[in-house]
Structures are given as structure tokens and as C-alpha cells.
Structure 1
Amino acid sequence: MQFEKTTFQFLKDLQENNNRDWFAEHKSTYEKAKKNAKEVFTAIHHKLQNHDEIEKSKMMRIYRDVRFSNDKTPYKAHFANSYSRLGKELRGGYFLRIRPGESFLAGGFWEPSKDDLFRIRKEIEQDASEIRSILKDKNYKKHFGGTFESFSELKTAPRGFDKEHPDVDLLRKKGFIATKNFTDEEVLSEDFVDQVNESYKVLRPFFNLFSDILTTNLNGEKLV
């Protein structure tokens, strides 16, 4: 299973013609592209189930909510899917977006709850060595560059934490996300599903560690 060139072409055309009239005229093309994308996302889901436990796979709607956005284009010129891990003990989630010239996958913790973020920060404050070892792992560096992305960061340490802490760069983050970009050629390749799956496998030590942190107290005692 792979992304078809016609699916990619539809997204390219939508980028240039992001209006309701054009979309209505090409609704049948959209339906075929959507079907192809859903099949690929489902194939990735099946691969994930071989090495992780996935509770939910969700393909994002192409229709944009423009009520509170300066961008009034009615459609997202991409296909995207999220995969949620199973249960309270298996934290973290996977994400994949397909957009010509801007395709990427991600995994991790996008917007942790206030309590979860505080717990992660307390772990970092106490001992960030295990987190640092994940970032230094050769496979993690190969796939994700040896860093965590964050949707936003504080300018300094959060309230109650030392501004001079040696791991203040981690303390400042509001999320902990691993990301990997793909070229259009990679997305259209026959082994793209396998490429995505291999990258997702590399996230397991990251997910395992953070799941352990979020389900224990600072003494290592289980909370769930």
C-alpha cells in the first residue's frame, strides 16, 4: 500500500485552488484521494499494532474551522492521521501529515496536562540523565535529530524552578515531540509505510520512559 501520485496531485491542486467552488467541482477526485490516504493510514496502523498497542486511529477532517483564524481558506491542503496509545499506562501518541513539500511524522506529548507537565519537569529537575540518554541514542539522532520539538517554550525556567538549572532548556518546554520530515519522493515511494513504521519504532524508549515517569511518583512508586 502506498500513496498514489494522483492523491499528491490533488493536494497540489488544492493548494492553488483552495475555494469551495473548485472543491465542489473536484469532489470525486477528493473522494478517491481520501480513500487512498485512509488505506495508507490504515496500513500504518496495522504495522504499529505489531509493536505497540493503539487505542484509536483518527483521520483528520479536510475542512478547516475558519471562525477564529486569519486564514479563511476553507480546506486543509493535506491529509493527516493520529494514533493514540492504549490505556493510562501507555502514554504518548503518533501523528503523520502528508502535504506536498511539507510532509512529516511526529510522536510524543503535544500538550501535556498541567499535572503531567509539572511531573515531567520535576523529573527533569531531579535527574534528566535518562532523558538525555534518549536524545543521544544513535537511532533517535538518525531519525529525529537528537532533539525534542515543542509547540511553545517559556523564555526562562517555569515558576518554582531554578533559572540556572543545567537542564533549563528542557524545563522551558511545554511539550516534548519528536519530528521527522519526508521529501515528496519518499512519501510516494513503495516502502513509505515501512519507513514511517521504522521511525515510530525508534520512539518506543522515549514513550516507555515518559510513560513510566507519568505513572509513578518521584520515588518510583506506581500511581496507576
Structure 2
Amino acid sequence: MGIGFSAQTFQLLEGIRDNNNREWFHANKAEIKEHCQDPFAFLLVCATQELSDHSVRLSGGKQTMFRLNRDVRFAKNKDPYNYHVSGTLTRSGLKNEQGGLVYLRLDPSGGRLGAGYFGLTAKRMGPIRDRILEDPDRFKTLVEDLAKHDLEFGTESSLTNMPRGFTDKADHELAWALRMKNFMVTRPMKRNDWKGDGVVETVVDFVKATTAVLEFGLVSVDKPKV
């Protein structure tokens, strides 16, 4: 059984984007499930199987996918549906994972893969910053290893100034890392990257290349200081 992403997959995602209303969505709901959601769930299952003996056990499937329906109660954008299919691979096998995870997003332009820790509060980001300072050589090795795979930490949403408690480190060689609000690495995906069974290998290779990111935060984020 193949993954099943095709030109029709992207046509449907474009359709949701361009016809974001209940009538169009329900008229195409069965096809969206067949060509977008079901193969995405199967991809997560296949990746789980391929990673079954990996050092950081990650798993996912239908239960770790996010809904297409949007909660618009407090949103400025009142479109009722997301036009991307997304989900995660987590150590708990649940999508409400509070620790490190791998994120997959399929959208009309292609999408992206991500790995690490996202949406951390300052309190939960603090231990990662502490660890960067306590073990700078390990962190620098991590950055160098990521670069070998053409990957790097995302710094787009970094703080302009040093975070509270780290203001005396403004001149530190790793100050840029201390200013990060998230501890995430991403990889853009083109449409063709999703087509064929090779997408499983692409996801698995990405997980293996970013495992050190997850491991770096295991102690510091998943077991935060009291």
C-alpha cells in the first residue's frame, strides 16, 4: 500500500483555501479524507514503524493529527477550516505532548517538517538556556551536526533583547541561542517531496538528523526546575 499523496491532494488543499466555507468543504469531505487525511495518517504510522528501534521512541497516527476545523471564537481570521493537514510524532503517542516532538505539515505549497520544542514559556525555556551555557561544546557540536544536513535552528521569532536572567550574557558567543523563544529545527517540503513512498524515508531521515535536538531538551524541558 502506497502513501497516496498526489496532484489531487494539493488540488483539494487549494480548494479548501480558495473556497473556505461549509458548503464546499462538506461537498468534498470524502475526497479530502481519501486523498489528504488518510494518507497522512498512514505516513505517520509508517514512520512510527521505521523508528521502532530508534534511540528516541516516537509514534503517531490518526490520533496525533490536528483537525481541519478551526476554533474561530477568538480569532481575527474567521475561516472555518485549515487548508493544511498536520500532525505529530511524539514519545507519548498523543498529540498533546508537552515535550519534544516532530511536526509534519502538508499544505498547498508543500509544507514543512519540524523537530524540537515549540511554544515554550520563559520558565520552560530557561532550563534549555541554562544547559546551553553549562555545556556549550555539546550545543556547538549539535549545531555543526545539523549543518551537515543543511539544517539549523529557527531564529525568526527570537527575542530582540536578552531574556530575563541572562542579560549579563549579551556578549556570549551563544547569545543568539539564548535569545531563541523556541528550540526548533525546520525543513521546508516541496510538493514532490510528498509524492511516493520515499516520503517515509524523508521523514525518518529528518527525525534521525534532529534526534540530538530532542535529546538535548529531554532533561531540561521535560523535567523543568522546580
- Measured against aligned partners, the alpha-carbon deviations of 1:18-53 in whole angstroms (never above 9, x if no partner) come to 111111211221231322222222212222323132
Distance 1:95 1:144, change over 3 A: farther
Distance 1:172 1:20, change over 3 A: same
Code of the residue aligned with 2:115 in structure 1: it is: G
Provide structure 2 residue ranges, at least 5 long, that are not aligned to the other structure: none
The count of corresponding residues between Structure 1 and Structure 2 is 213
Distance 1:168 1:20, change over 3 A: same
Asked if structure 2 preserves the Cα contact closer than 8 Å seen for 1:102 and 1:182, the reply is: yes
Q: Within 5 A, what are the aligned runs for 1:115-126?
A: 115-126=123-134
User: How many Å separate the matches in 1 of 2:222 and 2:39?
Assistant: 38
User: How many Å separate the matches in 2 of 1:19 and 1:203?
Assistant: 38
User: How many Å separate the matches in 2 of 1:3 and 1:79?
Assistant: 14
* Residue 54 (structure 2) pairs with residue 54 (structure 1): no
Aligned partner of 1:103 in structure 2 is 111
TM-score (norm 1): 0.84
* Residue 37 (structure 2) pairs with residue 37 (structure 1): no
* Residue 84 (structure 2) pairs with residue 78 (structure 1): yes
Asked if structure 2 preserves the Cα contact closer than 8 Å seen for 1:2 and 1:191, the reply is: no
Which one of the candidate residues 195, 199, 203 is aligned to 1:188?
195
Provide structure 1 residue ranges, at least 5 long, that are not aligned to the other structure: 218-222
Deviation at 1:149, TM superposition (A): 1.4
TM-score (norm 2): 0.83
Asked if structure 1 preserves the Cα contact closer than 8 Å seen for 2:118 and 2:184, the reply is: yes
User: How many Å separate the matches in 2 of 1:68 and 1:144?
Assistant: 38
Deviation at 1:108, TM superposition (A): 0.3
Asked if structure 2 preserves the Cα contact closer than 8 Å seen for 1:81 and 1:97, the reply is: yes
Asked if structure 1 preserves the Cα contact closer than 8 Å seen for 2:70 and 2:79, the reply is: yes
Which stretches of structure 1, 4 residues or more, deviate above 4 A after TM superposition?
A: 212-217
Q: Taking every aligned residue pair, what percent have the same amino acid on both sides?
A: 26
Aligned partner of 2:204 in structure 1 is 197
Asked if structure 2 preserves the Cα contact closer than 8 Å seen for 1:151 and 1:174, the reply is: no
Q: CA RMSD in A?
A: 2.5
Asked if structure 2 preserves the Cα contact closer than 8 Å seen for 1:152 and 1:173, the reply is: yes
User: How many Å separate the matches in 2 of 1:31 and 1:166?
Assistant: 48
Paired residue secondary structure (2:34): helix
